[in-house]
Chain A
Amino acid sequence: MTTEKFMTIPVSHFVVFSAILFLIGIYGILTRRNLITVLMAVELILNAVNINFIAFAHLSPFSAEVSQIFVLFIIALAAAEAVVGLAIVVALVRNRKTILTDEVNLMKW
């Protein structure tokens, strides 16, 4: 597969696509009641950002290296954040017996 095959898709199409994924993820964070679905929407947002970075890799050889390094760090950070988030969910279920974001309102005024 040669390099020229995918060069005909402009970068802006990839940016629009990752923006749409980002907005769907934000809708999931704002709307869903289940806490685990909110965490999955956050993973969707991070995935959209990764696609954006890799799409910019074609613009110069330096940006190819930097974008791949950046994406590695974002994947590692997303894994760490998912681990801590799910530990919080487990502790929440043990103490409050609920995973719904509406019912976790002890500190609400």
Chain B
Amino acid sequence: MLDKFVYIIFGLSILSAIGVVAFRNLFYSALSLVAALFLAAVLYICLQAEFIAIVQILVYIGAVMTLIIFAIMLTARINDKTIRASNQQRVVSLIALVVFGVFLVGQICKAQWPQVTGVNAMVPIGRLGELLVGHFVLPFEAISAILTVALIGAIVIARNK
């Protein structure tokens, strides 16, 4: 029964993802992305990564999507029906991606995946903290530097001269 729940989440996520790239209304597109990110958080809870699910909801939906919706409200004409939503590469890219997708899914299904044994994938948050300042301290410092640079860079790019 819980397997069927995860497959339903798969189906809804794919529908939301199609909604992101298919809606003409920009705001509907952003709301579909919020739905896709929320369904991904539900999947993380199913896969016993609860901390990552909360981080996804707080950071991705709470900050990144809020920022995107701000940018949509400030800069775009949301519901202009005279503007084409997709450019001329629509048919070619659809065909190319479907062909590539069939090939990729075929190769994935043919590959030998390791069997999932009864491994407990639950990682305590304390252990994540230990790893962040222990084994992974270099990427941790690098991501801090990246966030600072991104903040300063965004202000410099977007400021009024």
Contact for A6 among B46, B105, B136, CB less than 8 A: B46
Contact in complex: B21, A11 (CB < 8 Å)? no
Q: How many residues of B are counted as interface, with CB atoms below 8 angstroms from the partner's CB atoms?
A: 83
SS class of chain B's interface: helix, strand, loop or mixed?
Answer: helix
B-side contacts of A21, CB under 8 Å: 13-14, 17, 36
State whether B60 touches A78 (Cβ < 8 A): yes
- Pick from B74, B93, B94, B158: contact of A91, CB below 8 A: B158
**Contact: A100 with B119, CB < 8 Å?**
no
Residue of B nearest to A82 (CB): B64
Say whether B132 faces chain A, with CB atoms less than 8 Å apart.
yes
With A28-B20, A51-B40, A77-B146 as contacts: A89 and B64 at CB distance below 8 Å: no
Q: CA A68 – CA B129 in complex, angstroms?
A: 11
Tell which of A19, A51, A90 touches B71, judged by Cβ atoms closer than 8 Å: A90
Convert B40-72 into 0s and 1s, putting 1 for each residue whose CB lies closer than 8 angstroms to a CB of A: 100110111101100110011001100110111
Contact flag A16-B131 (CB < 8 Å), given A31-B86, A88-B157:
no
Q: For the complex formed, measure the closest distance between the CB of A99 and the CB atoms of chain B, giving whole angstroms.
A: 6
Q: Confirm or deny: B8 has a beta carbon within 8 angstroms of a beta carbon on chain A.
A: no
Say yes or no: is A108 at the interface (Cβ < 8 Å to chain B): no
Select which of A31, A41, A81 is within 8 A of B150 by beta carbon.
A81
17 sample A-B contacts, Cβ–Cβ < 8 Å, listed by A number: A6-B47, A24-B21, A28-B21, A33-B86, A36-B76, A37-B29, A40-B33, A44-B17, A44-B20, A54-B47, A59-B114, A71-B52, A79-B64, A80-B150, A84-B157, A87-B153, A90-B71
